[in-house]
Amino acid sequence: NFLNKALLLEAEKMYLLGDFEEASKTYQEAIVLSNKHKFIHEEAIACELKGHFCFQTHNHRDALGYFVHSVRCYEKWGAKAVAKRVSHFVQNNFDSSALFQWPTKYTMSFDFSSADRDGTGIKKRIGEHD
């Protein structure tokens, strides 16, 4: 049950190497697998990192969605201080018009069914980058 963690590391690696398309896909796979295995804290971390990725690549709309989901996961897990830290980041880095609905009315939908049943395709793809 560490594939989601390996995917998150792979996403960070792809981001640092400038392969933004692959990084985006891999972050999403890490989020989906974390959710599938009910690792709420790891889903929160993956969403927060994907939020920072989107923010840094100037996709602020999606960044807000990932940050909201991250905050909700952190709160569900009981990590109130971490949720507050992410909320402060958002409030300090987004303009007021983007925050009009933060966080209560902002939602983002994820296709959690997109992870293959045993992770074979994902494991194979990670091996291609080594």
pLDDT in tens, 59-86: 998 999 899 899 999 999 999 999 999 9
* Positions in the chain whose pLDDT score sits under 70: 96-130
Q: How many other CB atoms are found less than 10 A from the CB of residue 66?
A: 26
The pLDDT score that the predictor gives to residue 123 is 44
Give percent of the chain above pLDDT 70.
Answer: 73
Instruction: List the end-to-end C-alpha distance of the chain, in Å, as a whole number.
Output: 20
Q: Max Cα separation, the chain? A: 43
The pLDDT score that the predictor gives to residue 130 is 38
Radius of gyration in angstroms for the set of CA atoms belonging to the chain, rounded to a whole number:
14
pTM of this prediction exceeds 0.85: no
